[in-house]
A = this chain, B = another copy of it.
Amino acid sequence: MSDRLTRIVLAARPQGAPKASDFRIEQAPMPVPRSGQVLLRNRWLSLDPYMRGRMNAGRSYAAPVELDEVMDGGTVSEVVQSLHPAWSAGDIVLAHAGWQSHAVVDGEALRRKLDPDDLPVQTALGVHGMPGFTAYAGLHEIGKPRHGETLVVAAASGPVGATVGQIAKLQGARVVGIAGGPDKVAHVRDALGFDVALDHRADDFAEQLAAACPDGIDVYFENVGGKVFDAVLPLLNDFARVPVCGLVAHYNDTGPAEGPDRVPQLMAQILSRHLTVRGFIQHDFIALYPEFVREMGQWLREGRIRYREDIVEGLEQAPEAFIGMLEGRNFGKLLVRIAD
Contact = CB atoms under 8 A, between A and B. Distances in A.
A112 to B, nearest CB: 24
A193 interface: no
A276 B276 contact: yes
A274 interface: yes
A261 to B, nearest CB: 4
Contacts of A276: 276-279
Nearest to A225: B267
A245 interface: yes
B262 A256 contact: yes
Interface stretch (A77-85, A208-216, A246-254): A246-254
A247 B264 CA distance: 9
Given A244-B271, A277-B270, A264 B225 contact: yes
Contact of A261 (B61, B256, B278): B256
Contacts of A266: 263, 266
Contact of A272 (B61, B259, B274, B278): B61
Contacts of A245: 271
Interface string A266-310: 111111111111111100100000000000000000000000000
A111 interface: no
A258 interface: yes
Contacts of A222: 267
Main DSSP-derived SS at the A contact region: mixed
A229 interface: yes
Nearest to A269: B279
A257 interface: yes
Given A263-B266, A266-B266, A246 B271 contact: yes
A29 interface: no
A144 to B, nearest CB: 13
Contacts of A277: 267, 270, 275-278
Nearest to A59: B272
A261 B259 contact: yes
A265 B225 CA distance: 11
Closest 4 CB pairs of A and B: A259-B259, A256-B260, A271-B279, A270-B279
Interface of A: 53, 59-61, 222, 225-226, 229, 239, 244-247, 250, 253, 256-281, 284
29 contacts: A61-B272, A222-B267, A225-B267, A239-B284, A244-B267, A246-B271, A247-B264, A247-B267, A253-B264, A256-B261, A257-B262, A258-B259, A258-B260, A258-B261, A260-B261, A261-B261, A261-B262, A269-B279, A270-B277, A270-B279, A271-B279, A272-B279, A274-B284, A275-B278, A276-B276, A276-B277, A277-B277, A277-B278, A278-B278
